[in-house]
Structure 1
C-alpha cells in the first residue's frame, strides 16, 4: 500500500487552553509536543507561533525562532513548516517574516475564504508575492486548498511558471464555507490535482475522523492535530490531545497496512529547505 504522509498540526491560530487544556501554546510546550509526536511517527509538522503572554497568533522571529530551533534540535530530519496565514496579519512584511528562519515549508492559502467567525484574506498579489518569497528563501509552499477555485488558481500559477514541482497540497474539508467531507467533493478536487502532486486530507472539527478514514482508504495523506479538531469523539464528550489523535491515525494506518512515510523520504523528494539539505545528509552519514 502507498506510504501515508502524516502532517502534524499541534497548535493552530485559534485554540486556547480554555477550549482544550492539552493544546500546546508556549514555546517549550510546542517543542515537547512535536518531539513526542516525532517519536510516535510523523512526516512533517505545521507550526504556529503564539505570543508568550497573550497566546494570540504571533509572526515574530523572536517567537518563531526558538520553536523551530528546538524542534530541529530534537527532530533533526523532520520537515518543518511555518504558517504565513492572513487571518490575523495582512501586511506582507509580517506574513513573510518567518521565512527568514529558512523553514522547509511555508503555508500558502490560494485564495480568500470565510471561516465560521473570521475571514482569511489572500489577495492575488499577496499570494504571488508570498510564493516568490518562499522560493527565494529555499523553501517550498505548503499549498492550502479549500475549494475548486483555489485548485484552479494553482493551475494558473503553474501555467505562469511561478509554481513549480515538487508540489504538496493540504486539501481541507468541513469548513462551513468550503468543501465538505463528501465523496463527491473529495473526488472532484483530487481529480484536479496537478500530475505528480503530493497531498493530504484535513478534516475540520467533526469532519476529522470521517476524512481520515476516507484518506486511509483512498491513498491520500492525513493532516492531524488540535489545530483542526479539539475532540476525540464526534459527540464532543472527550477532549483530545494531539497524541490521542496521532495514535488513532497510526491505528487506522496499521489496519489498512499503510506504512507511515518517513520525514527523510518526504524531505529528500524536494521538501527540505535547500539551505539545510547538506547538513541533514551529513548527520545521517555520521
Structure 2
C-alpha cells in the first residue's frame, strides 16, 4: 500500500458510549443534558460528527430508551451548533450466558436481546444522518458476554436503515467483519457511498498494531469511506495513523478517558488535540456541511 495520507479529514467524537466508564472518570457525560453538551463541545472543537449513546440518568449504565435519545437530539438541534448526528444502533444485541456449565438460560441482569425494529426505534423516530451497524458477533472482554449480530439480523437492520434514508456506519471490529460488510453491500441493502469505522484494539477483535490496520485498509474497497480509532492510550496516536492510512478518525470518551498520563480528558480536549494533529500533518478538517455533501447525507431538521 503506498503512503497516501488523507488531506481532507473529518473527526468523529464518540462522546460517552455504554461501558462502565463513569466510575473511572467524572468527565463522562451521563444525563441527556450532559451528553448533548458534550456533543456541542466536540463540534465547537472541530468534530464534524458526534457519535451518541445514551445512559440511564439514575444508574449511568448504557440505555436505549428513545425518549433519552430524543432529549439529546432536541438539545443539540436547538443549540444552533452544526454537527452531523450519528446515533448508535448497537444496543439490544447483548447476550450474557448463564455460566460455563449451564449457559442457558442467559443471565437476565446483563442480557438485552431485541429485534431489528426495536433496535432501530430511536433511529426511525429521530432520523439522524447516520446510525451505526455493528458488523459481526464477537467476544467483548471477559466473562460470558457476547456482542451478538447475526447475518440475518444485520441484513434486516440494514434494510430498515436503507428505507429510512439514513446512512449506516458499519462498525468493523475484526478482519472478517469487513467481508461481512462487503456481503451486505452485495445483497443490495447498503447504498453508496459506503461508510465504515475500523474499531481497533478492542479485546478479542483486531489488535491495533500497524500491520493489522494495513491488512484491513488494503482490503477496503477504494470507493468506500473509512475512519479508524483505537481504544485507550493509543487513541491519539491513531489520529495520526488513520490519516496516514488515507482515512478519517474518531476520538472521544467512549474509547479513552485520558488526555495524558494522570490527566483525565474531556471530549472537547480530545477533539482539540486530534484537530491539532491533523493540521500539523498538513491536512485540513472537513466541516459538517462538507461531510454531508461527500457522504450524501440527508439533513432533515
What's the CA shift for 1:129? 1.0
Select 1:89's aligned residue among 95, 112, 118: 112
Select 1:178's aligned residue among 205, 218, 224: 205
What's the CA shift for 1:49? 0.9
Number of equivalenced pairs: 274
What's the CA shift for 1:32? 1.3
Select 2:236's aligned residue among 183, 187, 209: 209
Q: Distance in 1 between matches of 2:246 and 2:222?
A: 15
- Partner in structure 2 of residue 219 of structure 1: 246
Divergent runs of 4+, >4 A: none
Q: Gaps (5+ residues) in structure 1?
A: 280-286
Q: Distance in 2 between matches of 1:76 and 1:270?
A: 20
What's the CA shift for 1:12? 0.3
| Equivalence map 1:238-277=2 (5 Å) | 238-273=263-298, 276=300
Residue pair 1:60, 1:94 contacting (<8 A) in 2 also: no
Select 1:46's aligned residue among 39, 43, 51: 51
Q: 1:75 to 1:134 in 2, by over 3 A?
A: farther
Q: 1:76 to 1:128 in 2, by over 3 A?
A: farther
- Partner in structure 2 of residue 187 of structure 1: 214
Residue pair 1:45, 1:80 contacting (<8 A) in 2 also: yes
What's the CA shift for 1:227? 0.2
What's the CA shift for 1:82? 0.8
Residue pair 1:201, 1:211 contacting (<8 A) in 2 also: yes
Q: Distance in 1 between matches of 2:112 and 2:216?
A: 28
Q: 1:89 to 1:266 in 2, by over 3 A?
A: farther
- Partner in structure 1 of residue 100 of structure 2: none
Residue pair 2:55, 2:63 contacting (<8 A) in 1 also: yes
Most deviating of 208-217 and 36-45: 208-217
What's the CA shift for 1:67? 0.5
